[in-house]
Amino acid sequence: MKHHYDTFSTPAGSFSAAINDDGAVVATAFGGLAALRRRFNAGEISRSPARLARVRREVRQFFTGRRRSFDLPLAPDGTTFQRRVWTALQRIPYGATRSYGELAAKLGHPRAARAVGRANATNPICLLIPCHRVIGRDGSLTGFAFGEKIKALLLAREGVPAGKPQRAKGNAATKARRRA
CATH code: domain of residue 88? 1.10.10.10
- Which member of 131, 134, 155, 160 is catalytic? 131
Q: What is the pLDDT of residues 60-74, one digit of tens each?
A: 999 999 999 999 999
Domains contained in the chain, number: 2
Which residue segment(s) compose the domain that 31 sits in?
3-63
Position 140 confidence tier, pLDDT thresholds 50, 70, 90: confident
Do residues 152 and 84 both lie within one domain? yes
Do residues 156 and 118 both lie within one domain? yes
Q: What is the mean pLDDT of residues 123-143?
A: 92
Do residues 57 and 87 both lie within one domain? no
Residue 17 β-bridge partners: 6, 28
Residue 105 lies in a domain: yes
Helix ranges (DSSP H) in 68-170: 80-90, 100-106, 113-121, 148-157
**What's the pLDDT at 162?**
57
Do residues 84 and 53 both lie within one domain? no
pTM of the model: 0.87
CA 23, CA 145: separation in Å to the nearest integer? Answer: 25
Residue 71 lies in a domain: no
CA 83, CA 89: separation in Å to the nearest integer? Answer: 10
Check if 131 is active-site.
yes
